[in-house]
Structures are given as C-alpha cells and as structure tokens.
Structure 1
Amino acid sequence: MATSCSSPESWASRLGEETALARGVSSGKVLVTGGGGYFGFRLGRDLASQGVSVILLDMNRPPCDIPDGATFYQGDIRDYFSLYKICEGVDCIFHTASYGMSGPEQLRKEQVESVNVGGTNNVINVCRERNIPRLVYTSTINVVFVGKPIEDGDEGSVQCVPPDVHIDNYSRTKTIAEQMVLSADGCSLKGGGLLRSCVLRPCGIYGPEERRHLHRVMMNVERGLFSFRFGDPRARMNWVHVDNLVLAHKLAAEALTLKRNGVASGQAYFINDGVSLNLFEWLRPLFERLGHSQPTINLPVSLVSSAAILLEYLHLALRPVIEVPLLFTRSEVRSIAVSHTFKIDKARRELGYCPKSYSLADTVEHYLKSRQPRSSSAFLSLSWSPQQPLVLLLLMGISMLILMISCILCQN
C-alpha cells in the first residue's frame, strides 16, 4: 500500500491530475537518467521512436547519434540544480543511472555512494519540486542476493537484504536507493497530486552492442584467463535481453497511471527473459565462436574468492601507479558460484510483461562483427613511472602463480 509522507492533497485535485495523465493530456516528456549508457540509451531511443519527447542525461555522450525526438544533456545527477533545470515539463523519470556494477568500479566506495544514493535522493526531490508524477527506478537482483542459493524466488518470498549485510558497495547502495524510491511512493507533489513510483529488478543485461558483460568475458577468454570454473556445476541464473528490459520499463511507467489503476505504485518486480541458465552453458556460443574449449578445471570457490580478495587489495593499493586487472571481484565470484533464479509471474500478471526469446549466439555474432581491433593497452591501463616494468612483472607473476597452484591442486 502506498503511504503519504506529507499532508494529503484534496482527492479532487489528485483525480484531475491523474485523469489528465491517463488520457494522454500530459506533456509526453520523459527524462532518462543514465541516458548515455547502454540500457538508458536504448530505452530513450525506443521511446523517441514512439513519439515521446525524451531527455537523455548522462556524464558521457552516447556512442551513437542522438535519435530524432531526443535531446542529450551532459550532466551529473549529483548536481541538483542542473537536474532541476532540465526537468521542466517532464511527467515521468526513468532513473537508470548507477555506478559500480562490476569490475574495478565496485571498489570506488565514495563515488558509488554519491551516485547511487545521493543521485537518487536528488531525483526524488526533483520529482516533488517539479510535480513529476511517475518515477520508474532500475534496481537490481543484488538487493536480495548475498550468496545463498535462491531457487525461483519471487517478490513475496525473498526480501531486501539489510544494506550492512552486503559485501560490495554497489549492492549496498542500490538497496538503500531502492528503499528510498519505494518510500517516496505516495508522497505529495509541490503543485498537488501524488508521486507514484516503482522499481524493476533486472539481472545481467545482454544484447546487440552491449559492452560491459560480454566484452569483459570475451577479453578474458581470449587472454586464456577464463580456463577454469568453480562453484556448483549446476548453478543457474537469469539474464535479460535489453529489448525485454526496455519493454518492462515502458509497461511499468504505464502501470503507474490511472488508466491502469496505478497497479505498479509502490511495487517491485523481478525482470528477466523467463528462463534460467547455467552460466558456462549459456556462454557456449561465445567459447565456440572464439575457438576456445569450455573450462574443464574445477577450482574450490574459497580459492577463487581468496584470489579475488587479494587482487582487489592490490588494485586499491597500486591504483596510483598501475591498474590491476580484475578477472572477478569477490561479489562476482559469489554470483557465479551459487544458483539464484527469480520468477517473473508478478510482472506478467500486473504489468502485462511478456518477454520475447533471444539467442546469445546472435548477440555474440553481432559483437564480433562490430568490435574494434584491440589496442596494446587493452590488458592494463598504466600511468608511466620508472618502476612500471617491475611492478607489471610482479603482478603478472602473482596472478599466474595463483592460477598455476589452483590447477595443480585440482589435478592431484
């Protein structure tokens, strides 16, 4: 149930505003935070193609041309006044911006906190001040997962984990931000009416032009670093194609209107393709296309996790001189090693979400055709210093030693 966090406005005022919105009398103008990122840009492009006036906000320009019907603003959601300025006339915010999802980003605690928590706080306050009645927040399955198996979890059976239980900054701050968005549902807007908010919890995203997950796995496969597996060999997880995730966001925004009786107001939804898969089996097309065999060496999770922790510390300690590559962070090790699957029945029932079937093989083929040749700096990003060669050899030696010892132990 939605709860108001301030004095309720008159029912007539609320009804008039929501009726206008439901009939399409609103401005039809939306803001997509993180609009320069992979998913945010795809969402904005899809909305613009349907005649919606779209504002894309991001610190980085999208890699593609801005589509007709969309406007790009280079800005930071942590800058409240800039955010407030560009939200004039907006009637829905899709808050997809975040930081620290994977790799070295996870270790930058202050930046993760300021973007995911501070930025979300700004978005909520701008909704109130600018009378923006709808807010759809892109959360994550990480808010309910802490390394214990979850089989076909749903929104009723699995609850958000307390923030201080999470071992990584991304999951912790996304949990806080999700709770902030849900708590804001039903709050009064400055000009009358109520804010209606909901959250979507996607898993890993894949699709054409995706660069975060697929690119990183592909680079590690080509370097020969993805030569082992660990954890439960039957572990399963979910993935979501970017087009299915775009669909879910559009349906969620519609489900916050009076036309749909505000069915999504104050609700959270798991979003995926509707199937569960073993990671290594799912990646089979990638290994085959690159001419590599699937990993055959099985390592103890504790060993891989210890190596990940060691490399995290090395990354932080040596960052001013050299960027230590992270094959996995410890939170990523946990995600791979343990089954965690979620049902999408609630999204099907309340949002009308019906995901299409997609093949990873198609995504891999598209990626291989479109990727740029690798540069010599693809493996490590370095800041020059006279001690660089020694440091580089030391780190490479440590990494290789860990892998060699692991392989020997498992073969004996």
Structure 2
Amino acid sequence: RRKVLVTGGGGYFGFRLGRELARQGMSVILLDLNKSPCDVPDGAIFYQSDIRDYPSLYKVCEGVDCIFHTASYGMSGPEQVISPHHLTKVKGHTRTRANRSIPRLVYTSTINVVFAGKPIEDGDEDSVAYVAPEVHIDHYSRTKAIAEQMVLSANGCSLKGLLQTCVLRPCGIYGPEERRHLHRVNVERRLFSFRFGDPQARMNWVHVDNLVLAHTLAAEALTPKRSCVASGQAYFINDGVSVNLFEWLTPLVS
C-alpha cells in the first residue's frame, strides 16, 4: 500500500487531493500548519506542523513514496505584501528526500510564474518563459517561480535512489465551497474599470476536481510503470476553455 504526503493538506485543494488519494486506497498524510477544517477521511491522518520544521518533516516522511507539495503562502490578502521566509515553498523536499529516499515529488506551482499582467495567447510550456524575478508584483509569484525551478533542477538527482519530479501550473481554482479565488476576483471585479480596462478580457480556470485528477495522473506518470514520462516536466493545468471573466463570474458570485 503506497504512502503519500500532501503538504498544505488542510487547505481547500490539498484536502480534496488527500481525500481522493485515500479513496484510491493509498495511505495519506495530510500536513498543514493550520488544523483541518473537515473530518479527516478514512485512510488518512492529519499532522499539524510547519513545513519549515525540518525534524518534524523528516519524521512524518518516513516510508513516503510520493510528496504532493501544495503548501504555499501569500496567494491573496495581506500576506501578498508581507515577505515571509519563502522557504514555505522551497525548503524541505530536497533534504528530506535525500535522507528518506522518496522517489517522487509533484509540485503545485501557478501560472503566475510566467504571467505578470501581459496577455498570453496560445502559449504553451515550451514557448512561454519565466517572468524575470524583478518583474513579479508579489512575493507569492516570485517565490513560486524560485521553488518551481528548484524542483525541476532536482529531477534526476541520485542520492539514495533516483528522484523524479514534475510541476503543475494551475490557474484560478473554482469548485464547491471555494472561498479564496472567487472572493478575491469578485472584489477585483468591482475595480476592473480602472485596474484592467478591458471588458473582453478572457482567462482560464480549473475546477478543483480536474486539478485533483491532474495531480494523481502526474504522480502516476513519474513511476517506471508509466516510463516516468512526466519526469522533469512542467504543465499548465486548466479546464481547456478560455472564458470572458465578467460573463463567467456573474452567476458564481451574484
């Protein structure tokens, strides 16, 4: 029975990912600084700890086959203008993996690593470059880009077995009981007339269930059974449809 760790397992997405992994029969550890808002599903345990606490992280990673690193800080709200130790995103996986021989790491990044306000049309993983660090307007996006590059550079490392890594770049997440992305965008929508000025603006979103599926498929694609086809890769994740933000958002928040 495979044992997996979901950092940020008390968050909206991390909890749902852990719930699905447990449903698939895996032994799941949900790790989060904050307490889980919901009852822990059968097949999972919740471990409350700071991911920057290395001894604690080292302990909880014993026997883990795959880490889903969804934990992050500063996506919205006042945290965006506070510069915490960005190690919440980048510390832990490399050193812990080296000592625990964890073979797979799936990192949850963001489209913001390549987006800083300028429209991207028909962009793909090969054609769109990272935003320069000094161009990012918030610490969240900047440190996500740093973390993503660290994760990808660690792919193929051979310390105690070969490490396989990949990165997923979701856009805005929506779904049942989602309160963070939609609330933030609804506030921003009231400011669109002078902040953005383009009522025809289109963007991509991803339903939380599709994002969960993307993570489970990515983890499987890092195994020898799937020839490790996702090894060292970064993927944009969305529902495959671009929508007019004004038209799409109205029934969700009105």
The question of a shared fold, defined as TM-score above 0.5 by the shorter chain, is answered with yes
2:101 to 131, 134, 150: 131
Name the counterpart of 2:70. Answer: 96
Q: In proportion to residue count, which structure has more helix?
A: 1
Would you say the 8 A contact 1:188–1:194 is kept in 2? yes
Unpaired runs of 5+ in structure 1? 1-26, 291-412
Name the counterpart of 1:370. Answer: none
Would you say the 8 A contact 2:76–2:184 is kept in 1? no
Q: Counterpart of 2:225 in structure 1: which amino acid?
A: K
Distance 2:121 2:199 in 1: 15
Q: Does 1:253 align with 2:219?
A: yes
Distance 2:222 2:181 in 1: 31
Q: Does 1:168 align with 2:138?
A: yes
2:190 to 226, 241, 245: 226
In terms of Rg, which structure is larger? 1
Q: Counterpart of 2:113 in structure 1: which amino acid?
A: V
Distance 1:146 1:284 in 2: 25
Q: 1:227 to 1:177 in 2, by over 3 A?
A: closer
Q: 1:126 to 1:285 in 2, by over 3 A?
A: same
Distance 2:192 2:66 in 1: 45
2:168 to 200, 206, 210: 200
Q: Does 1:68 align with 2:42?
A: yes
TM-score, normalised to structure 2, is: 0.94
Would you say the 8 A contact 1:143–1:174 is kept in 2? yes
TM-score, normalised to structure 1, is: 0.59
Q: When the two structures are aligned, how many residues end up with a matched partner?
A: 252
Q: 1:110 to 1:228 in 2, by over 3 A?
A: closer
Q: Does 1:54 align with 2:28?
A: yes
Residue 215 of structure 1 and its aligned partner are, at CA, apart by 3.5
Name the counterpart of 1:285. Answer: 251
Residue 103 of structure 1 and its aligned partner are, at CA, apart by 2.1
Q: 1:279 to 1:43 in 2, by over 3 A?
A: same
Unpaired runs of 5+ in structure 2? none
3-state SS in 2 of match to 1:155: coil
Q: 1:95 to 1:228 in 2, by over 3 A?
A: closer
1:122 to 75, 80, 92: 92
Q: Does 1:105 align with 2:75?
A: no
Residue 152 of structure 1 and its aligned partner are, at CA, apart by 1.8
Q: In proportion to residue count, which structure has more strand?
A: 2
3-state SS in 1 of match to 2:165: strand
3-state SS in 1 of match to 2:84: helix
Percent identity over paired residues: 76
Aligned Cα RMSD in Å?
Answer: 1.6
Question: 1:28-70: per-residue Cα shift (whole Å, max 9, x none)?
Answer: 0000000000000000001101110000000111211000000
Name the counterpart of 1:353. Answer: none
Distance 1:228 1:159 in 2: 27
